[in-house]
Amino acid sequence: MLEKIIEPKKQISKEQQIFSNKRLWQLIYPILVEQILILLVGIADTLIVSYAGESAVSGVSLVNQINNIFIIVFMSLASGGAVIVSQYIGRNELDKGKLSSGQLIMISFVISIIIGAILLVSREILLRFLFGKTEVDVMEASITYLTITVLSFPALAVHQACSAIFRSMAKTKITMYVSFLMNVINLSGNMIGVFLLKAGVKGVAIPSLISRCVAAFIMLVACFYRKNIIFVKFKYIFHFNKEIIKRILHIAIPNAIEGGLLEAAKVVLNSIVALFGTSQIAANGVSQNLFNMSSLFSSVMGPVFITVIGQCVGAKDYEAADYYMKKLLKISYTGAISWNITFYGIILLVIKLYDLTEETVKLILIMCLIHNFFSILFHPCTFTLASGLRAAGDVKFTLYSGIFSTVVVRVLSAFILGIWLNMGVIGVTFSMVIDWSVRFTVNLLRYKSGKWKTFEVI
């Protein structure tokens, strides 16, 4: 039954179907498990941090706003590399795929070192500029947490790069296992640091550093395994190939800009929500965490689109790329419907665990209902289809449409609905939906136009 639902009407030959349903599932489920694990551990992590004291919680929260921006940079670099490696695999130019993998690891490491050095030198100035009015103990906690987590940036960047290489080969089980180990180390380390050693914010930051270093080391060693169709040699890492790096950055830079602006827009939206009073601020804070869980399946499908469409486009088989665009989109919608309906039922139970006022609970349930309903309608075309367009090299279109929709449409709608029409946090939630609807429309029109088939990436 499910196979009939996800199959496009227009079929292609069996030789062109390089990803069977079984192989697609083997690609999808480890990423799904990995993302669920990360979110669940993140919730547990936040709970443990709360026992380190209010200063630690505040410091970690403030610094994570900064860290998230650079995490997006590393993820964007990894995605750019994944597109290039996937296309070389599809074209069966494995030597260039291997070289691209080594170059991805190299530039990820170098860029992370540069970013880390700048942050370490300017950390006090930066934090006082951004959060200068915070209390002294919160500022001290922020400086300590930023210092230690920045030291983990090179490991985080290398881990992201190596994971992207394996996803390009459609080998996602290893990334799932290593992610599981990394999160276990981090979670258990936090428990030891906070409860046993009473180390405060250091007890939270050091386990993150250790877990990222362990994960990076394992993934890096795995990348040298010669039985993989794409493996890395030291000469590929310590060799500077201007052309390959240019191709990776051509994909990565627009991704990083778009992701960074989305984070910046969230800061602006949070400042708008801050005008609406304590109850609405609390409802927004809880809802944002629940939104992340609700959007999980669509987030998982992004890397799948990059791997599958990247290999098809690399092979110059645009008929297969079109077939898999439709098929993966159908899988995204099927998963989004099932996940969002199921998770909303879970939300009704989970929300009872929070010590919140009746008004706040009511707002959360309304916001989540709006989010989940429109997520089913718009999210797959808004985000997963965009990943497919990027995998084909259509990066400028997704960048410009993303900037317009996020910076102009979402923020402006939030002002109009939230403040002028006095809809409060519900208005801000609808501004997100309007943003999605715009992206949904332009992405779908772009896909149907076929212009994504005209780009040369490699």
pLDDT in tens, 230-280: 999 999 998 889 999 999 998 988 888 888 777 778 778 877 887 888 788
Residue pair 375/340 in contact (Cβ under 8 Å)? The answer is yes
What is the number of alpha carbons within 13 Å of residue 160 lying toward its C-beta? 26
CB atoms closer than 10 angstroms to residue 9: 5
Where along the chain do its domains lie? 19-240, 253-458
pLDDT in tens, 359-389: 888 999 999 999 999 999 999 999 999 999 9
Could you tell me which of 292, 381, 387, 307 has the C-alpha nearest to residue 26? 307
Rounded to whole angstroms, the Cα distance separating 265 from 262 reads 5
Q: Which of 156-165, 269-278, 318-327, 361-370 has the lowest mean pLDDT?
A: 269-278
Residue type, 50: S
Residue pair 171/222 in contact (Cβ under 8 Å)? The answer is no
What would the two tokens of residue 348 be?
Answer: 């009704």
Instruction: Measure CA 84 to chain center.
Output: 19
- According to the model, what pLDDT value does residue 46 have? 63
Residue 43 pLDDT class (50, 70, 90 cuts): low
- According to the model, what pLDDT value does residue 59 have? 76
What would the two tokens of residue 29 be?
Answer: 């489920």
Residue 47 pLDDT class (50, 70, 90 cuts): low
Residue 3 pLDDT class (50, 70, 90 cuts): confident
Could you tell me which of 417, 336, 324, 428 has the C-alpha nearest to residue 374? 336
Could you tell me which of 386, 323, 335 has the C-alpha nearest to residue 83? 386
pTM listed for this prediction: 0.88
pLDDT at residue 44 tops 70? no
pLDDT in tens, 174-229: 999 999 999 899 989 989 998 999 888 899 899 999 999 999 999 999 999 999 99
Rounded to whole angstroms, the Cα distance separating 237 from 161 reads 12
Rounded to whole angstroms, the Cα distance separating 307 from 47 reads 35
Vertex 356 angle, CA 353 and 362, to 5°: 100
Eight-class DSSP state of 452: G
Q: For 274-357, where are the alpha helices, taking DSSP H only?
A: 278-294, 296-314, 318-350
pLDDT in tens, 99-146: 999 999 999 999 999 999 999 999 989 888 877 777 788 888 889 999
Instruction: Measure CA 228 to chain center.
Output: 26
